[in-house]
Chain A
């Protein structure tokens, strides 16, 4: 398990999000670009929005999804990196 990556994130004020059905729509007002997250990505997003750090979100989701824990962590770290690169989240 990697412990070096940023563990706490914030959603910038210029990023809007709304869950529609099982999917989450994001809009970065600075780039005028829409993005979407599937149900798993949306669950992680909701936990980050609620103030969870990476480990807390990972722990919650390990309890919710019957998947390989290492794979889940790897997938979520990749998602975090993508969200950061798109400036949809930033390190707190």
Chain B
């Protein structure tokens, strides 16, 4: 047998995120993770063809279609993990190995792959990891605590969070809130995400940002991602989740809001379905996942205060919305100082 030259992997892209070290075959961009200490295992993200993955076991475990019914996200149990598929990219998520295999379709933009890894694949791996729960929510830090906004895509979570960040309140995340059990303090801590916000073009202008300071977010979206050029404040460490503001459920049509922002306390019974509905899911029928999620959600529900939040969809309302939220929290928790701007 003659000499053999085996291809070796090139220098992997690395960054720290959600207290994990991400080691990736894919360039995840120049996003900066939080400076918080990284004390957990590495998550390896490898490029590998789907034909090498174990076969899906049975039908889909979870499907989340677009509004027109076309598939957006589908998951299948496979081997020790899950295959998840988006229109332009498939992943094999292995929580025991802390490994994500990725097989993008030919020609898919790098930004799209990076977005699907950072905002979908890694959060779902963490959602399968004991001690973590992941919500579709934006979050900002007010003094030493965190307030979150729960709502569907397009309801203004990111814009609201960005408006807090522009006023000096450290931002944890615009869409993906990772909450981690901290053994040391014996409480659930909301973790900072990467230091960027995704915004629609009209929000960029309304927040007074220059579009040239933002970069492509994903090949299929007109949203843009903020970079270092944007002077936002970002959280550097985790903090207890103290309050959740719940935006109106789009599935329950209500008259358009007019007048000042409305903040109303929610009972646990009222808030719990929205909290549970905001969890990143991969297999809603798995009893062990559900058992773990139940423990986390009920634990959070016993310590977090909930409010409904409705306001006129007018950017000029943002200062009043921020003030209403801060006033509600200050009046009910006693642990906040009002620093509305």
Instruction: Give me the interface of A with B, judged by CB distance under 8 Å.
Output: 14, 16, 18, 20-21, 23, 25, 27, 29-30, 32, 34, 36, 38
A23-B268, A34-B273 given as contacts; is B294 within 8 A of A16 (CB)? yes
Sampled A-B contacts (17; CB under 8 Å): A14-B287, A16-B291, A18-B294, A18-B298, A20-B302, A23-B267, A23-B268, A23-B269, A25-B272, A25-B297, A25-B298, A25-B301, A27-B294, A29-B287, A32-B284, A34-B273, A38-B269
Closest chain-A Cβ to B181's Cβ sits at a distance in Å of: 16
How far, in whole Å, are A25 and B291 apart by their CA atoms in the complex? 13
Closest chain-B Cβ to A68's Cβ sits at a distance in Å of: 25
For the A-B complex with A20-B268, A34-B272 known, give 8 more contacts whose Cβ atoms are closer than 8 Å: A14-B287, A20-B272, A20-B301, A20-B302, A21-B302, A29-B291, A32-B284, A32-B290
Interface residue tally of chain B, by bracket? 10 to 19
- The answer, yes or no, to whether B11 is at the interface (CB within 8 Å) is no
Please pick, from A14, A30, A36, the residue contacting B272 in the complex, using a CB distance under 8 A.
A36
Chain A residue with Cβ nearest B276 = A34
How far, in whole Å, are A9 and B273 apart by their CA atoms in the complex? 27
- The answer, yes or no, to whether B68 is at the interface (CB within 8 Å) is no
Closest chain-A Cβ to B122's Cβ sits at a distance in Å of: 24
How far, in whole Å, are A38 and B287 apart by their CA atoms in the complex? 25
A21-B302, A23-B267 given as contacts; is B290 within 8 A of A29 (CB)? yes
How far, in whole Å, are A38 and B272 apart by their CA atoms in the complex? 13
- The answer, yes or no, to whether B285 is at the interface (CB within 8 Å) is yes
Closest chain-A Cβ to B333's Cβ sits at a distance in Å of: 15
Closest chain-A Cβ to B195's Cβ sits at a distance in Å of: 34
How far, in whole Å, are A30 and B291 apart by their CA atoms in the complex? 11
Instruction: Give me the interface of B with A, judged by CB distance under 8 Å.
Output: 267-269, 272-273, 276, 284-285, 287, 290-291, 294, 297-298, 301-302
A32-B284, A36-B269 given as contacts; is B298 within 8 A of A20 (CB)? yes
How far, in whole Å, are A16 and B294 apart by their CA atoms in the complex? 8
* B285 A25 Cβ-Cβ under 8 A: no
A32-B284, A34-B273 given as contacts; is B268 within 8 A of A21 (CB)? yes
CB contacts (< 8 Å) of A36 on chain B: these are 268-269, 272
CB contacts (< 8 Å) of B287 on chain A: these are 14, 29-30
CB contacts (< 8 Å) of A14 on chain B: these are 287
Closest chain-B Cβ to A70's Cβ sits at a distance in Å of: 27
Closest chain-B Cβ to A1's Cβ sits at a distance in Å of: 30
Chain B residue with Cβ nearest A28 = B290
CB contacts (< 8 Å) of B302 on chain A: these are 20-21
CB contacts (< 8 Å) of A18 on chain B: these are 294, 298
How far, in whole Å, are A29 and B290 apart by their CA atoms in the complex? 7
Closest chain-B Cβ to A13's Cβ sits at a distance in Å of: 10
How far, in whole Å, are A27 and B276 apart by their CA atoms in the complex? 11
Closest chain-A Cβ to B93's Cβ sits at a distance in Å of: 20
How far, in whole Å, are A29 and B293 apart by their CA atoms in the complex? 11
How far, in whole Å, are A32 and B279 apart by their CA atoms in the complex? 13
A20-B268, A34-B272, A36-B268 given as contacts; is B301 within 8 A of A27 (CB)? no
Closest chain-A Cβ to B94's Cβ sits at a distance in Å of: 23
How far, in whole Å, are A79 and B298 apart by their CA atoms in the complex? 22
Closest chain-B Cβ to A36's Cβ sits at a distance in Å of: 4
CB contacts (< 8 Å) of A34 on chain B: these are 272-273, 276
Closest chain-A Cβ to B61's Cβ sits at a distance in Å of: 11
How far, in whole Å, are A25 and B302 apart by their CA atoms in the complex? 11
Chain A residue with Cβ nearest B267 = A23
How far, in whole Å, are A20 and B296 apart by their CA atoms in the complex? 12
Closest chain-B Cβ to A49's Cβ sits at a distance in Å of: 15
How far, in whole Å, are A21 and B302 apart by their CA atoms in the complex? 7
CB contacts (< 8 Å) of A27 on chain B: these are 290, 294
Closest chain-B Cβ to A62's Cβ sits at a distance in Å of: 25
How far, in whole Å, are A38 and B268 apart by their CA atoms in the complex? 10
How far, in whole Å, are A14 and B290 apart by their CA atoms in the complex? 11
